[in-house]
Amino acid sequence: MDVFWYALVGLLLAGYLALESIDFGVGMLLPLADTEPGRADMRRTVVPLFLANEVWLVAFAGLLFGALPLLEGELLYALRLPIVVLLSAWFLRDAALWFRSAHPGAGWRRSWDIVLPVTSLVLAAGWGAVLATLVRGLSLHGNGQAVATAADLVHPFTLLCAALAVAGSLRQGSLFVSRNLPRDGALSVRLGRLNQALTPALLVLLALTAAVGAAVTDAPVAVAVVAALGAVGVYVSGLLRSAGRTTAALLLGAAPLLALPVMVGVANGTTVLATRSGEGELALSRAIADSASLGLLTVTVLPALIAVVLGQLWIWRVFARTTA
């Protein structure tokens, strides 16, 4: 059962990244719209969805606290700098989506049109960097606690995974926006060209991730297999897009984002917080909550998660329809 709860926490994070990658991508792509109506249209494609997508992050944090309370505290300490950056970018990104249309002034809208792509880029790259750091293993602080140092956050593998998350989000955003644009429009053409370039770029990034990840982890085969599966998802997604099956392409296009949290699990196994030296690590058996707490979670959280999934399906069915 311990592994079940740990896997469920990871599944919630993977679901958040898969869904929010669309929002990150649309935000980063905003500068491609060179007219005010075009920018407004792009923003409107994600406004009905982004809060529902963020529910997965809230659920992840809540279940992490309930099922793995010791791990949450250790993560907050080890990743305190990137977490502050991610939270700040999250608040500003949401503010840009909400406040851009709250005032008619051109300067007001231009300011938020800068904030939205920048914070979306920080969020996508930040999540890629955080997960890469966990895959590779943390450093050891002088007090014996695991911590992500500045060197960890700029390691080549970390930067590679950050680029992978950014490229994957851009591709997902371009696919999603294209569903709601006239096929012969200038913006649709630009997004199509970008998407064509991103597909091979993602395949290269995944190949590099497999190679470098295999060199810096103790589970080279498992990490390489996960990256290879991500590459298969991207390749098949490209074929589906060419066949006009955009929804299926979006589903498989999330593979690079899903690969990152999966790599954390396959690289470290039941060591839920790994260090490169092996000291200061946290095993699942120590991090898991007591049986009484897990029993309470079983009767409260699991039904709520089912309701969240059903609600998410309804929201996407209603608000993510293709209009062009």
pLDDT computed for residue 218 by the predictor: 86
Number of Cβ within a 10 Å radius of residue 266 = 18
pLDDT of residue 323: 44
* Nearby residues of 115 by Cβ (< 8 Å), 6 or more positions away: 92, 93, 95, 96
Task: Give the position of tokens 């969020």.
Answer: 123
**pLDDT score recorded for residue 126:** 96
% of the chain surpassing 90 pLDDT = 56
pLDDT greater than 90 at residue 2: no
| Inside any domain, residue 324 | no
Q: What is the pLDDT of residues 40-65, one digit of tens each?
A: 778 888 887 888 888 899 999 999 99
C-beta of residue 110 within 8 angstroms of C-beta of residue 140: no
* CATH code for the domain in which residue 230 is found: 1.20.1630.10
Structural domain range at position 246: 2-319
Average pLDDT over residues 259-273: 93
Burial class (CB in 10 A: 0-12, 13-18, 19+), 271: middle
Closest CA to 171 of 149, 152, 193, 186: 193
- Mean pLDDT calculated for residue range 297-302: 86
98-107, 279-288, 291-300: range with lowest mean pLDDT: 98-107
Q: Is the CA virtual torsion 203, 174, 52, 27 positive or negative?
A: positive
Query: Is residue 324 pLDDT above 60, yes or no?
Result: no
- Kindly state whether residue 61 falls inside one of the protein's structural domains: yes
Q: What is the pLDDT of residue 1?
A: 76
Residue 146 lies in a domain: yes
Report which of 136, 142, 127, 40 is spatially closest to residue 87, judged by C-alpha positions. Answer: 127
The band of 322, judged by pLDDT with boundaries at 50, 70 and 90, is low
- Confirm whether 135 is domain-assigned: yes
Reported confidence tier of residue 228, pLDDT bands at 50, 70, 90 = very high
What total number of domains does the chain contain? Answer: 1
Instruction: Return all residues near 133 (Cβ < 8 A) that are at least 6 apart.
Output: 79, 82, 148, 152, 153, 155, 158
Condensed to tens digits (0 to 9), the pLDDT of residues 143-194 reads 778 999 999 999 999 999 999 999 999 999 999 988 777 677 777 788 888 9
Residue with the two structure tokens 């290879």:
228
Q: Which of 5-9, 105-109, 252-256, 273-277 has the lowest mean pLDDT?
A: 105-109
The verdict on residue 77 lying in a domain is yes
Q: State the greatest distance between any 2 C-alpha atoms of the chain, in Å, as a whole number.
A: 61
Report d(CA 256, CA 230) in Å as an integer.
5
pLDDT band with cut points at 50, 70 and 90 for residue 93: very high
User: How far is residue 294 from each of residues 6, 64, 66, 136, 226, measured CA to CA in Å?
Assistant: 12, 12, 8, 29, 30
CA distance 209 to 226: 10
- pTM for this model (two decimals): 0.92
Between 156-178 and 2-29, two packed helices, what is the crossing angle to 10 degrees? 60
Give 109's pLDDT tier (boundaries 50, 70, 90): confident
